[in-house]
Amino acid sequence: MLIVYGKEHDAHHCLELDCGELIRSWDSPERAQNVFNSLTREGHAVVAAQALPHEILLKVHDADYIAFLQDAWKLWVEEGHKASAAFALAWRARSWNRPDRVPTCITGKLGYYSIGVDCSIIEHTWTAAEAAAASAATAASVVAKMKGHGSRSDTHSKLPRAAFAICRPPGHHAMRNAFGGYCYLNNAAVAAQTLLSSAFASRVFVLDVDYHHGNGTQDIFYSRSDVCYASLHADPATEFPYFSGYADEIGEGDGQGYTRNVPLPPGTTFDVWSEHLESCFDWAKEKNCGAMVVSLGLDTYIRDPVSTFKFEKQDYSALGKRLRTVDLPTVFVLEGGYDLPSIGENVVTVIHGFEEDIRCK
């Protein structure tokens, strides 16, 4: 499978407030390096990301939010802050509703444009986030341009019509106008929008298999019917992002019925999880999508340090096989997964499960 990777993510390793302690973020550069090493070791070809088309970015994020991300570090330094990570200090409470008031100082803006304090902005955050989104856009463009009959597969090579973007920082928590959950730009949304804007598909299925709910992807497409968003994740009553991902969130307006949430209890195994995955496939099938974007998080793994799900190594092969049965041109976008010894290997296992019938011949 063709891999898209940009090494610009390396310089982004911010601080995170985790259970009351300030730590180096779980989203480390080693995560993406590990995935890159595992995939290249298996012989998958790698291409560099092309420049990110900003007209695509501005279809999924607000212009003032993008300007904020680009300027944040400069403002932080200009205001005389010495700390190496820019953190917010306050957020609007529920009854404190003055969305017309945008703070002019950087600390105020950080609260205005974020969902929480589990990540921060450092000097190279924008560069890394832009490169990740560019990888997602490039992978989607590649899939849209692949040769082959109809929409299904590249009949020349017999490989499925698919590409994999090694995105870091991840993206699915990034909302239309807010960062958080290690995410700044929504890479999966950029991939979906690229498939739509290139007229490759008129409706895209975004399937989110990360351990956490993709509140950002849901937010961006909540009132649109050209993207179907389905997510299986830990129950937000007890897990990040806490305020989004309940089963009764189904979309609104034109988007009503185009969002599906499957919250699951702590300790969920693949056997239980995969039954719900099939129900998401059945749900999406009726909607006539022309392509699929998979938000691939590996933090469902039993040894993952931030999660409670209990996926085993072989489950990732079964996941890959099941994703293949959807039979749509597919863009894989890397989301979470924080167990460094396994993340690359588990990504490879998904990809090989997805390509298996071909690879065995």
327 binds, among Zn ion, ligand OKP, none (CB under 5 to 8 A by kind): none
Based on the shown chain and the rule CB under 6 A, indicate whether residue 181 belongs to the binding site for ligand OKP: yes
Report phi then psi at 242, rounded to 5: 65, -35
Active site (annotated) includes residue 173 = yes
Nearer to ligand OKP, 144 or 232 (CB): 232
Residue 212 binds ligand OKP, judged by CB under 6 A: yes
Of 9, 61, 172, 173, which one is the catalytic site residue?
173
Cβ–Cβ < 8 Å for 80, 161: no
Give the one entry of ligand OKP, Zn ion, none that residue 5 binds, where binding means its C-beta sits below a cut-off of 5 to 8 angstroms depending on kind: none
- Of 218, 167, 216, 205, the residue nearest 293 (C-alpha): 205
- End-to-end Cα separation, the chain, in angstroms: 16
Tell whether residue 18 is a contact of ligand OKP (CB under 6 A). yes
Question: Residue 204 CB, nearest distance to ligand OKP (Å)?
Answer: 20
Chain residue whose CB lies nearest Zn ion? 336
Beta carbons within 10 angstroms of residue 359's beta carbon? 12
240 touches ligand OKP by CB under 6 A = yes
Residues 108 and 344: their CA atoms lie apart, in Å, by 38
The residue nearest ligand OKP at its CB is 336
* Residue 182: both structure tokens together: 């290690």
**Residue 249 token pair:** 């969130």
Q: Which does 111 bind (CB under 5 to 8 A by kind): ligand OKP, Zn ion, none?
A: none
Question: Which is closer to ligand OKP, CB of 289 or CB of 343?
Answer: 343
- Residue identified by tokens 């190594």 is 313
Instruction: Give the relative orientation of helices 63-78 and 125-145 as an angle to the nearest 10 degrees.
Output: 150
Residues at the site binding ligand OKP, with contacts judged by CB under 6 A: 18-19, 118, 170, 173, 181-182, 210, 212, 240, 297, 299, 306, 335-336
Q: Which residues are catalytic?
A: 173
